[in-house]
Amino acid sequence: MNAPRPGNGTPLLEVRDLVVHHGQLRALDGVSLRVFPGEVYAIIGANGAGKSTLLRTIAGLHQPTEGAILYDGKDMTKVRPERRATAGIAMVPEGRRLFGSLTVEENLQVGATYARKGPWTIERVYELFGWMSERRTQRTAQLSGGEQQSVAIGRALVANPRVLLLDELSLGLAPVVVQRIYAMLPQILATGLTVLLVEQDVSQALRVASHLQCLLEGHTTLEGRPSDVTPAQVEAAYFGLAEGDGRAEGPPQGGSGGMGPPGSGGVTGGVVPPGEKGA
């Protein structure tokens, strides 16, 4: 998915110099990005970097103190979250946030309540996730983490968004489950969607992204196409090291099996700090 990036034209989603506070804390400090139609744009960064704050602000759940959010060329900065959703911005929140006492199908129906017209229906979601139809009457609280994540994605898809915001799909899931979920991405993109995702699992983000940005303590520390950045640059940006320092003490441990391209000899331990991921 490392396709050339459109050099001109209107980005579908644009964030300009965004500053967001949580009380006294400046969680985002002048972050900008441009996401073009059909892209998979990945935001990476360690715990507390401001990734979720960025997605939640785009969805309208936090109000920025400075900066602007443009969607399809229109200023959405002060638009209410529900209007952003009906305009075509949908989010799969960190931790899924399903209605656990409702069934799979009822959760999908919630997502479809104010749906735009488009290709995604509950039946189409069942086709995407082969197991789901048979379990449609099961409460989502009884599903595994990976199954719940799939329902959360389905719930966002049935709203027929143009931009899908994915917050930490991999959180708490075994690597094999994460890979299975990300394997659905091409089918989702094929229906015309644009994706902005947040990932702590850098290897995974690099595999799927056409463009990436690394945040550290609310600042942008790296931006570019995965093919244009080296593992050392990513590692330095992720941890806030001067470039090259990341290799000085050997690769960090943990994570999901390496962020460098196969055989690159790059950071082979992954940059996710130990203990971040459950199984």
Residues that bind ligand ATP (CB under 6 A): 22-23, 25, 27, 45, 47-53, 200
For the bound state, the minimum distance from the C-beta of residue 50 to ligand ATP, rounded and expressed in Å, comes to 4
Query: For residue 15, what is the DSSP state?
Result: E
For the bound state, the minimum distance from the C-beta of residue 29 to ligand ATP, rounded and expressed in Å, comes to 11
**C-alpha angle 29/30/35, rounded to 5°?**
125
Nearer to ligand ATP, 26 or 180 (CB): 26
Cβ neighbours around 93 below 10 Å, total? 18
Nearer to ligand ATP, 17 or 127 (CB): 17
Of the candidates 206, 237, 235, which has an alpha carbon nearest to the alpha carbon of residue 41? 206
For the bound state, the minimum distance from the C-beta of residue 168 to ligand ATP, rounded and expressed in Å, comes to 6
Residue pair 50/214 in contact (Cβ under 8 Å)? The answer is no
Nearer to ligand ATP, 51 or 277 (CB): 51
Q: Give the separation between CA 246 and CA 230, rounded to whole angstroms.
A: 12
For the bound state, the minimum distance from the C-beta of residue 27 to ligand ATP, rounded and expressed in Å, comes to 4
Q: Give the separation between CA 14 and CA 5, rounded to whole angstroms.
A: 15
Nearer to ligand ATP, 25 or 190 (CB): 25
Nearer to ligand ATP, 132 or 222 (CB): 222
For the bound state, the minimum distance from the C-beta of residue 66 to ligand ATP, rounded and expressed in Å, comes to 16
Q: Give the separation between CA 274 and CA 262, rounded to whole angstroms.
A: 22
